[in-house]
Amino acid sequence: MDGNKFPAEIGPDDHGAATYSARQKTILVAGGAGFVGSHLCDALIGAGNHVICVDNLETGRESNVAHLFANPRFSFIRWDIIDPLPIDGPLDQIYNMACAASPPLYQKLPIHTFRTCIEGSYNLLELARQKRARILQSSTSEVYGDPEVSPQSEKYRGAVNTMGPRACYDEGKRAAETLFWEYGAHQGVETRVARIFNTYGPRMNPQDGRVVSNFVVQALTGDDITIYGDGLQTRSFAYVDDLVDGLMRLMASDCTQAVNLGNPGEFTMRELADMVLAQTGSKSRLVTRPLPVDDPRQRKPDIRLAQTLLGWSPTVPLEEGLTRTIAHFAAELAQKRSRKELV
Amino acid sequence: MDGNKFPAEIGPDDHGAATYSARQKTILVAGGAGFVGSHLCDALIGAGNHVICVDNLETGRESNVAHLFANPRFSFIRWDIIDPLPIDGPLDQIYNMACAASPPLYQKLPIHTFRTCIEGSYNLLELARQKRARILQSSTSEVYGDPEVSPQSEKYRGAVNTMGPRACYDEGKRAAETLFWEYGAHQGVETRVARIFNTYGPRMNPQDGRVVSNFVVQALTGDDITIYGDGLQTRSFAYVDDLVDGLMRLMASDCTQAVNLGNPGEFTMRELADMVLAQTGSKSRLVTRPLPVDDPRQRKPDIRLAQTLLGWSPTVPLEEGLTRTIAHFAAELAQKRSRKELV
């Protein structure tokens, strides 16, 4: 994302809604080498802050932040947050973006996923308490499980199966929200909780099995496009720049309750596939596979809280975000091909 | 409870349902000095086993197991399970009964409650893996939160608020179920999960704010009987001997899914108060107080799974269980009074 997009100082907007102030701060981003985390690092650096990026590079990629290494306001620590963090000096803010977030990746080491959510949050909350730093948790629409209501508002208590292959992530994230609530209510820590819905954009890991990167890579390489189940299950897709904007607004706000961040535009998997095929001009065929266990039928955020309290709404339509994402993956594939040709 | 109640060996019953075998085993009971845990220790010792009782005595009481200290098959370790357990020698079974279980007590140190549920379970599961021991988790009807359906079957996914004063326990217990599922599915550990509904009986802690002990003690001392809200919220009460029988049957079964253990008899708080007043002949008055946050309106277990898979049903009617419980508390109060008179 373009770091210049965020001016150095933004005050409350005309409607009095909270927006983010970007005075120079020292900000720790756990999971900062991941897909969303790296865009957040870009935006925070672009707004003039010092950023300490912490990542164990289990699913994050060094290449996502390599362009920041030369910046004197950026530092990188390879560290697993399930161990207490050795951070010297003051910290103003902490963003917890750490955790494998796609089912095939978070199910590879499920107990580690679970501990990253819970013990990782605990360690970061303790750090926030010691440093008197404000801390934001990247929670997830997965706390709603396979929802019986649509759209999902923050009041909805969810339908999560505690005993199944998705639970290591879903329950890990739910329990992490509880820890954040406790530290906010009883430990004097300023906590913020974002429930992030499906997000897409450049730097998605093509190996992580998310539907947008799957479809785009399959279309660009001419492979079959895989639809799970009947393909009529829906998702809502937010472009990563919109999400990062929402996260920074939430951090700057005084909102201590959980806030949905997502794009309420709802698309079936088949609609998404058609859009990708149309934009890439690909001849890939659609093939179907069985729906995984506990896969939610639909997901659609109710974002009235974010609109009211943060003055935030997503601004990038799916067509436009897809164009940017396809351009990124096309460039990445071209680079890989030219490397292979050189070898 | 009477340890002789459990014969030394029980095979599959006439209906082929699982029952518990009680060959001499070495069994660790975490939380063994608590209300339910101590009755479980009695039953396991009574059935000829060696029992290692582990308790940090935060809410458990030494007096609950003091009568077992002279038994060579019983040992006691004061230990907090949020630290890995130093247990030498073989173990056949582990029961995890550890955690403050009543709102006023578990909300005193909420982060410790949460860590007891999760890190405590993790430590016990690791111990089970090392010792190749079968392990049973005492989960809870609290995983259903404030349920929208009645009765609650094991398939119901619950309505738990992740961000509120009860969440340290509710989400802690939900996340613990997830850990048990993971260790069962991917770590080769034999796991059992009981979802325990309200239980009552002798040795309830009169300070823990549970409704049965509250009402009984208030009636016996002539204090006002406190009803929260309109008193029309319902609970189902299982007598502790029935519960212990269910836990041992579940441990002996091959059932790896979560199983409700509770008495489906449903009573309003007012009905319970009337029963206690009638049995004690007390002149206590009923007074009302506001309902606490997130207090569930009703709780009633669907126990068809336990009936089918374990051949288990509760056998002690509320009237009879109350009689035994009142006798216990009356004796305890008399003892306290005589001690005071002696001082």
The 10s digit of each residue's pLDDT in A45-62 is: 999 999 999 999 999 999
Of A145, A181, A183, the CB nearest to B164: A181
Q: List the helix and strand counts (H, then E) for chain B.
A: 9, 13
Mean pLDDT of chain B: 92
Q: What is the spatial distance between Cα B180 and Cα B128, in angstroms, rounded to a whole number?
A: 11
Q: What is the spatial distance between Cα A334 and Cα B301, in angstroms, rounded to a whole number?
A: 59
CB-CB contact of A184 with A135 (8 Å): no
Cβ burial of A141 (10 Å; 0-12, 13-18, 19+) is: buried
A338 located within any domain: no
Q: Which positions of A are catalytic?
A: 169
- Closest by CA to A125, choosing from A59, A30, A45, A50, is A30
Nearest C-alpha of chain A: how many angstroms from B158? 7
Cβ under 8 Å to B: A residues 74-113: 110-111
Cβ under 8 Å to A: B residues 113-132: 114-115, 118-119, 122
B228 located within any domain: no
Both tokens of B199, joined, read 């239980």
Q: What is the spatial distance between Cα A173 and Cα A193, in angstroms, rounded to a whole number?
A: 11
CB-CB contact of A31 with A65 (8 Å): no
Mean pLDDT of A130-134: 98
**Cβ contact A168–B180 (<8 Å):** no
Q: Give the per-residue pLDDT at B295.
A: 79
CB-CB contact of A192 with A250 (8 Å): yes
Q: What is the spatial distance between Cα A34 and Cα A58, in angstroms, rounded to a whole number?
A: 9
Q: What is the spatial distance between Cα B156 and Cα A165, in angstroms, rounded to a whole number?
A: 17
Q: How far does chain B reach from its first CA to its final CA, in angstroms? A: 31
* Residues of chain A contacting residue B187, judged by C-beta atoms under 8 Å apart: 111
- In this predicted structure, the answer to whether residue B16 has a pLDDT above a threshold of 60 is no
CB-CB contact of A153 with A95 (8 Å): no
Mean pLDDT of chain A: 92
B336 located within any domain: no
**Cβ contact A174–B177 (<8 Å):** no
Give me the number of domains chain B comprises.
1
Q: Give the per-residue pLDDT at A19.
A: 42
**Cβ contact A175–B175 (<8 Å):** yes
**Cβ contact A164–B181 (<8 Å):** yes
**Cβ contact A174–B182 (<8 Å):** no
**Cβ contact B118–A186 (<8 Å):** no
Q: What is the spatial distance between Cα B330 and Cα A103, in angstroms, rounded to a whole number?
A: 56
B257 touching chain A per CB within 8 A: yes
- In this predicted structure, the answer to whether residue B217 has a pLDDT above a threshold of 80 is yes
**Cβ contact B174–A162 (<8 Å):** yes
Mean pLDDT of A125-132: 98
Q: What is the spatial distance between Cα B208 and Cα B225, in angstroms, rounded to a whole number?
A: 15
Any residues with CB less than 8 A from the CB of A83 and at least 6 apart, and which?
Answer: A123
* Residues of chain B contacting residue A144, judged by C-beta atoms under 8 Å apart: none
Number of neighbouring beta carbons within 10 Å of residue A55: 28
A335 located within any domain: no
We report the CATH number of the domain holding residue B106 as 3.40.50.720
The dihedral sign for the CA sequence A160, A165, A166, A172: positive
- In this predicted structure, the answer to whether residue A288 has a pLDDT above a threshold of 50 is yes
B168 touching chain A per CB within 8 A: yes
- Using CA atoms, how far residue A142 sits from A134, A159, A171, in Å, is 24, 9, 9
B287 located within any domain: no
- Provide the residue range defining the domain that includes A170: 8-200+239-264+299-316
| Choice between A21 and A217, residue whose per-residue pLDDT is larger | A217
A177 touching chain B per CB within 8 A: yes
**Cβ contact A162–B181 (<8 Å):** yes
Any residues with CB less than 8 A from the CB of B340 and at least 6 apart, and which?
Answer: none
B340 located within any domain: no
A246 located within any domain: yes
CB-CB contact of A135 with A94 (8 Å): yes
- φ, ψ dihedrals at B235, nearest 5°: -140, 160
| Choice between A38 and B7, residue whose per-residue pLDDT is larger | A38
Any residues with CB less than 8 A from the CB of B73 and at least 6 apart, and which?
Answer: B45, B48, B49, B50, B51
Of A114, A122, A159, the CB nearest to B178: A114
Mean pLDDT of B223-232: 94
Using CA coordinates, name the residue in chain B closest to A294.
Answer: B157
Summarize pLDDT for B64-117 with one digit per residue, the tens.
Answer: 999 999 999 999 999 999 999 999 999 999 999 999 998 889 999 999 999 999
B188 touching chain A per CB within 8 A: no
- In this predicted structure, the answer to whether residue A340 has a pLDDT above a threshold of 90 is no
Q: Give the per-residue pLDDT at B3.
A: 37
- Closest by CA to A1, choosing from A137, A198, A201, is A201
Nearest C-alpha of chain A: how many angstroms from B132? 19
Using CA coordinates, name the residue in chain A closest to B155.
Answer: A161
Q: Which residues of B323-342 are buried (b: 16+ CB within 10 A; e: fewer)?
A: ebbbebbeebeeeeeeeeee
- Closest by CA to B143, choosing from A159, A176, A153, A183, is A159
CB-CB contact of B126 with B84 (8 Å): yes
Of A118, A119, A160, the CB nearest to B157: A160
- A-B CB pairs within 8 A amount to 107
A303 located within any domain: yes
B8 touching chain A per CB within 8 A: no
Of B114, B180, B186, the CB nearest to A110: B186
- In this predicted structure, the answer to whether residue A23 has a pLDDT above a threshold of 90 is no
Q: Which of B168, B178, B189, B256 to mutate to test the interface with A (most CBs of A within 10 A)?
A: B178
Residue A151, preceding peptide bond in cis (omega within 30° of 0): yes
DSSP A150-194: SSBPTT---B--SSSTTHHHHHHHHHHHHHHHHHHHHS---EEEE
Q: Give the per-residue pLDDT at A240.
A: 98
CB-CB contact of B13 with B19 (8 Å): yes
A163 touching chain B per CB within 8 A: yes
Cβ burial of B242 (10 Å; 0-12, 13-18, 19+) is: buried
- In this predicted structure, the answer to whether residue B23 has a pLDDT above a threshold of 70 is no
- Closest by CA to A318, choosing from A236, A195, A232, is A236
ipTM field: 0.89
B177 touching chain A per CB within 8 A: yes
